[in-house]
Structure 1
Amino acid sequence: MKIHTIFFSLALLVAPGLSKSKGKNDTPNATIEKIEKKYDALSKTAPIVKANGKPMCQSLRFIQEEDNIIQDYSKLRQIAIIRHGEPDMVKTGQYTCSEANQFLKCYDSVCIIVPEKPFFELGANEDVKIFSSPINRALTTAHYLFGTDKEITVSPYFREFENRIKESESKKKHSIKRWTTTSRIKWMLGINRAKGIESFSQAKDRAHKGASILNNASKDNAKVVLTAHGLLNRYLKKDLKKMGWKVVEDTGNDYFGTTILVKVEE
């Protein structure tokens, strides 16, 4: 009897520890670590997608139920934020202020250089909520990735931050990159406000509202995609992280640069 009592007592002491250890492996943080490792593994074998023979990016996808990373797949929410593809126009040369502003108008209206196949892969029956900026380079990116028959919610909340160049009579010529970088820095500092455009503070508020739209959409659609713009996407990512989302994949800020964020419900 004494021996049985001792074994019973030891079982009571050990069992909670075993239960706790198992629970630890199933925590949201542990699951997110597994997802990060999965993306690391996928990146080592993902095929390269090309456009006109030029490498553009690697293939990418959401985590699927068959990956067996999370016991209850319904608890996983995923958001992919994608920068638009490369606009189909010549971007070299030197420009006056007036010419640079005309360049930016064209930049907002042209389509993208379309790769040989979509780099972001969706399954045939994969249910995804798709959002896009109304600016053409982002919207044509969404059409290239998901087709024109998919429902795409176009919202002004996802347009790019302002980058208008203040008009000048000067005939000095600079590269487009110099014009846009200088004008945007001045805009951020509040010393280059063109008439009728939002301030940097207003743009950040808009990005926060955009992040809320994506977050709320994920409550009804476990997978959400946005095609938008480089600087806006950076602020969306910051705001989503403040809302509890975790970055599990980030391919940078170049054309087609993609950030994937996840939430795992308790």
Structure 2
Amino acid sequence: MAYHSASRLKYLTTDVGSNGMDKQATKEVVLIRHGKPISAHNDKINAAQYTKWVRAYGKSALDPQSTPKHKTHLNNSYVIVSPLRRAKLSAEYYGVDYIDEECALLREMDIPYYKLPFRLKAWHWVLLSRMLWFFGMTGRFESFSSAKARVAALTQRIEMLTEEHERLVLFGHGMTNLFTRKKLMKKGWRLKSKDSEFWGVTVLYK
């Protein structure tokens, strides 16, 4: 199963401002990127070290120095969390004791890694590897085409849930949030706000 449901508690947090919200809108989708992983250093490394960096990133706890610039409210919201540790820890930081749904479709698009004869800063490796991945270069990780198909399935799941819930809040990841946002906008959702940084909150409405 790609997801499962559980009961959850409702609670209050500080709300992000509502500038630009269409008064007629009744549905809202909030995409929250996880906080910064403590392993996310930017040292200059070779390809083998970068592979280890990717694996450590996937298992990492959050950097305690990384905190949200803003926290959106979660009142009357259906909360969905990626199964990856950094997303779960981010939801916990928000005060989530119980989630409505843990959804495997929401996990990050795999970070690719290749054997290349370079020494680069870690985040330059991410950028280069993503570019090669976009152009179809494969490896021991999810392909770009498979990742896009998963996002399409996630978008369908989101739209189905908005038939029952006025507000969805998803604790996810940078690339998955980006492609989910684009897919939703193609389906007629409007962008209220966008932030792709760690802890960034992107809001769409319809």
- d(CA) in 1 for partners of 2:67 and 2:125? 32
Aligned partner of 1:173 in structure 2 is 119
Match of 1:183 in 2: 129
Normalised to the residue count of structure 1, the TM-score between the two structures is 0.64
Query: What SS is found at the alignment partner of 1:151?
Result: coil
Q: Which runs of 5+ in 1 are unaligned?
A: 1-58, 64-68
2:93 is matched with: 144
Q: Does 1:253 align with 2:196?
A: yes
Q: 2: distance between equivalents of 1:244 and 1:209?
A: 17
1:86 maps to which of 36, 40, 44 = 36
* Matched-pair identity in %: 22
Q: Which has the higher helix share?
A: 1
CA deviation profile, 1:113-151 (whole Å, cap 9, x unmatched): 34678942436xx2211112212111211111132x222
Correspondence for 1:108 among 58, 79, 92: 58
Partner of 1:161: 109
* Unmatched segments (≥5 aa) in structure 2: 1-13
Q: Which residue of 2 aligns with 1:242?
A: 186
CA distance in 2, matches of 1:112, 1:144: 10
Following superposition, the deviation at residue 239 of structure 1 comes to 1.2
Does structure 2 conserve the Cα–Cα contact (< 8 Å) formed by 1:208 and 1:236? yes
CA distance in 2, matches of 1:116, 1:254: 11
Q: How many Å separate the matches in 1 of 2:138 and 2:164?
A: 39
What SS class does the counterpart of residue 244 from structure 1 fall into? coil
Question: Structure 2: how far apart are the matches of 1:122 and 1:145?
Answer: 9
Residue 45 of structure 2: SS of its match in structure 1?
coil
Residue in 1 aligned with 2:6?
none
Aligned partners of 1:118, 1:253: CA distance in 2, in Å? 12
- CA distance in 1 between counterparts of 2:36 and 2:51 reads 19
> Which fold has the larger relative contact order, with Cα–Cα distance below 8 Å and residues 6 or more apart in sequence?
2
Q: Is residue 214 of structure 1 aligned with residue 158 of structure 2?
A: yes
1:243 corresponds to which letter in structure 2?
Answer: K
Residue matched to 1:97? 47
Distance 1:217 1:225 in 2: 11
- Please list, as runs of the form range in 1=range in 2, the aligned pairs for 1:20-169 lying within 5 A after superposition: 60-61=15-16, 70=23, 76-89=26-39, 91-114=41-64, 119-122=70-73, 126-147=75-96, 149-167=97-115
